[in-house]
Amino acid sequence: MSTTQERLADQRRRQKVKSAQDYIDDRFGSSSFLRSAMDKIFPDHWSFMIGEVAMYCFVVLLITGTYLALFYVPSDQMVVYHGSYAPLDGQTMSKAYESVINISFNVRAGLVMRQVHHWAAVVFMAAIAFHMCRIFFTGAFRKPREVNWTIGLTLLTIVMLEGFSGYSLPDDLLSGTGLRVVYSIVESIPILGRRLAFEIWGGPFPGTELLNRLFVIHEFLFPAAITGLLGAHLAILWRQKHTDFPGPGKTETNIVGSRFWPQYMLKALAMFALTTAVLCLLGGLFQINPIWIYGPYTPYTVSAGSQPDWYVGWLDGSLRLFPHWEFRSFGYEIPNPFFPGILIPGILFTLMYAWPFIDAKIYNDHVPHNLLDRPRDKPFRTAVGVAALSFFFVTTLASASDLLGNNLHISYQRIIEILQYAVFLLPLLSGYIAYRTCLSLQRTGIHPIQKPVGGIIVRTTDGAYHTLGEDHGDHAADDLVHNGNGHGDGNGHGNGHGHGADEDVVAEGSDGELVD
């Protein structure tokens, strides 16, 4: 087939690869690791890409963020604006706000970088949330992956704080109002709160130090923490390998998919490029956070329709929905924002951290799993997840109660009262519906792991045998769970066990054709 020239080129290429490999391997002895890395198999399922999208958003954030940091001035020193944006001419504003206005209007490509950065943050949080839903509903957090669940949850928390701190840096009216609320929440912590707020803000609100500190936190501390935790998250993933959905040919001890090199690597790069493409289009074509419209922050003004970015909405909504309770005795009080701002999120996050362990208790399941659950097969877990999502939905909706009221022509009081009921009823109702739906889906759908595998041999009435179909699958996972061992005996002739194989239909184990 190949010509002499091609063969020669092939030879030369080998020579080059060989000498490069020798150079590296002589120094690091890396060939065996690299070989195993390149041969590593990653399962192909679109839902495994969501976490990757989050990671690529982070990369985009690092790049655009570094660019923005070169122009941003973290100073609350007041200046009078005389720049190119005429509507703000003559206004008193902080240097921080002025610098963001300059990034938006005077720095070439500054606005697109700023908007890509903001969109990337919004999409980052969304990707993390979807990724977490996928992990939750399919039981991917089960043994041996509980620790990675807690790392992931810590990442979620830090990314949320990172997002909020970045949102606050421009010192515009909207974000300043958000900071005012956060100050009150911090201040509401019993005993320590006021001290803590003073430490963070450098005094009573609005403080004198916050922008400096947010800058350090947003540019250095949190990104470093995210990078470190993400590294750990991926290292553990690499070591434990991906989970996979059950299906023909898939067992607890094998893995079906594409090799890291070249398939997965190229597709991962492609995913990075495509994520970046979407973020650039969003950042270029869809305006986000137009701080020049909001104006600079002053402690005594605010505009109606103050909504935070979507991932903080649920906290803001909780603050709106919580009744006007405040507890005071012996001269000390627990202020109102403590309950919806600290206590409820605290309880929710504790439950989320504890979920893998609660789940193991509920299902009395302490063996390792590599194959995922289908949500319908764990109705209670699915119901809990759906209920949590609808709680999130209602509280997020509540954060827009004023806008909802205006648009629906209902008074904001009614909207809030309705949502106060809904925040209890909707999770219960949707959880119940999810539970029933799971049960009825269980009755109708066939679990892929229970699909007959191997060839099915049918004996006809006259005693003849026919093979009905053939595939390489086996459904021996159930046996494997109990053996806890990929090389156990249960493999390969699993079908026929316990799912009503007819007397006349027997399954042929795949052993015969596989073992040499």
Partner 1 sequence: MTSTDDTLFGSSGRHPVDEPTHGGNGHATAPDDDGDALAPGTVRFMEDPLHYGIEHGPWPDDVPHGQNDMHWRYEDDPKGARRAEMRIAACWSLMLIGGLGLAICYATGGQAQIEGACLGIGFAGLGAGLVLWARDLLPGHDVIGSRGGLTHASSEEDRRRMVQSLGRGLEPMARRPFLFKFLGAVGGVFGVALLFPLASLGPRVNGQLGRTSWYPGARAVTEDGQPVKPSDILVNGVATVFPANTGNPSSPANAQDSTILINLGPASSGFEIGKGRQDWYVGALGSNTCIVAFSKICTHAGCPVSLYDVQSHQLVCPCHQSTFDVLQDCKPVFGPAPRNLPQLPLSVDAEGYIIARHDYYEPVGPGYWNRPSAVKQP
| Alpha helices (H) along 295-411 | 310-321, 338, 344-362, 379-398, 401-408
Q: Are the beta carbons of 490 and 480 closer than 8 angstroms? A: yes
Residues 448-477 that bind partner 1 (CB under 8 A): 472, 474, 476
Which residue's CB is nearer to partner 1, number 333 or number 504? Answer: 333
Cβ proximity of 456 and 505 under 8 Å: yes
Q: Is 491 in the site for partner 1 (CB under 8 A)?
A: yes
Q: Does the protein bind partner 1 through residue 344 (CB under 8 A)?
A: no
Q: Of residues 170, 454, 492, 496, which one binds partner 1 by CB under 8 A?
A: 492
- Please report whether residue 25 would count as binding partner 1 according to CB under 8 A: no
Encoded one letter per residue, x for contact with partner 1 by CB under 8 A and - for no contact, window 120-159 reads -----------------------xx---------------
| Choice between 63 and 133, CB closer to partner 1 | 63
* Candidate ranges 82-90, 234-242, 389-397, 456-464; the one touching partner 1 (CB under 8 A): 234-242
**Which residues lie closer than 8 Å to 376 by C-beta, 6 or more apart?**
382, 437, 438, 439, 441, 442, 445
* The one segment of 134-142, 148-156, 485-493, 495-503 that binds partner 1 by CB under 8 A: 485-493
Q: How far is the CB of 229 from partner 1 (least distance, A)?
A: 21
Residues 413-452 touching partner 1, rule: CB under 8 A, are: 413, 416
Q: What is d(CA 223, CA 57) in angstroms, rounded to the nearest whole number?
A: 13
Structure tokens at 432: 């119940």
Smallest gap from residue 514 Cβ to partner 1 (A): 6
Q: What is the rounded end-to-end Cα distance, in angstroms, of the chain?
A: 33
Any contact of residue 112 with partner 1 (CB under 8 A)? yes
Site for partner 1 contains 46 (CB under 8 A):
no
Nearer to partner 1, 172 or 187 (CB): 187
Q: What is the 3-state secondary structure (H, E, C) of 37-105?
A: HHHCEECCCHHHHHHHHHHHHHHHHHHHHHHHHCCCCCCCCEEECCCCCHHHCCCEEEHHHHHHHHHHH
Q: Which of 162, 171, 253, 170 is nearest to 216 (CA)?
A: 162
Number of chain positions touching partner 1 (CB under 8 A): 135
Which residues in the 351-370 window bind partner 1 by CB under 8 A?
367-368, 370
Does 199 bind partner 1 (CB under 8 A)? Our answer is yes
Instruction: Provide the CB-side half-sphere exposure for 62 (13 A, CA).
Output: 13
Chain residues 298-317 in contact with partner 1, contact rule CB under 8 A: 298-306, 316
240 near partner 1, rule: CB under 8 A: yes
Residues in the chain: 516
A 10 A CB-CB count for 13 gives: 10
The beta-carbon contacts of 468-474 under 8 Å, at least 24 apart in sequence, are 471/248, 471/249, 472/248, 472/249, 472/510, 473/247, 473/248, 473/249, 473/250, 474/249, 474/251, 474/510
Binding span for partner 1 by CB under 8 A among 388-396, 458-466, 482-490, 498-506: 482-490
Rounded-to-integer distance, Cα 210 and Cα 299, Å: 14
Indicate the residue among 183 and 215 with the shorter CB distance to partner 1.
183
* Binding of partner 1 by 289 (CB under 8 A): no
Neighbours of 5 (CB within 10 A): 8
Task: Please give the DSSP secondary-structure letter assigned to residue 142.
Answer: S
Is 193 a binding residue for partner 1 by CB under 8 A? The answer is yes
Asked if 435 and 428 touch (Cβ cutoff 8 Å), the reply is no
Q: Identity (one letter) of the amino acid at 68? A: L
Q: Which is nearer to partner 1, 389 or 453 (CB)?
A: 453
Segment lying near partner 1 (by CB under 8 A), choices 128-136, 161-169, 295-303, 374-382: 295-303
Q: How far is the CB of 504 from partner 1 (least distance, A)?
A: 26
Phi, psi (rounded to 5 degrees) for 204: -65, 155
Say whether residue 115 binds partner 1 (CB under 8 A).
Answer: yes
Residues 247-286 touching partner 1, rule: CB under 8 A, are 249, 251-259, 261-264, 266-267, 269-274, 276-278, 280-285
Number of Cβ atoms within 10 Å of the Cβ of 228: 12
Q: Which of residues 366-395 bind partner 1 (CB under 8 A)?
A: 367-368, 370
Judged by CB under 8 A, the stretch of 178-186, 381-389, 436-444, 497-505 that binds partner 1 is 178-186
Stretch that binds partner 1, among 127-135, 217-225, 480-488, 496-504 (CB under 8 A): 480-488
Q: What is the largest CA-CA distance in the chain?
A: 99
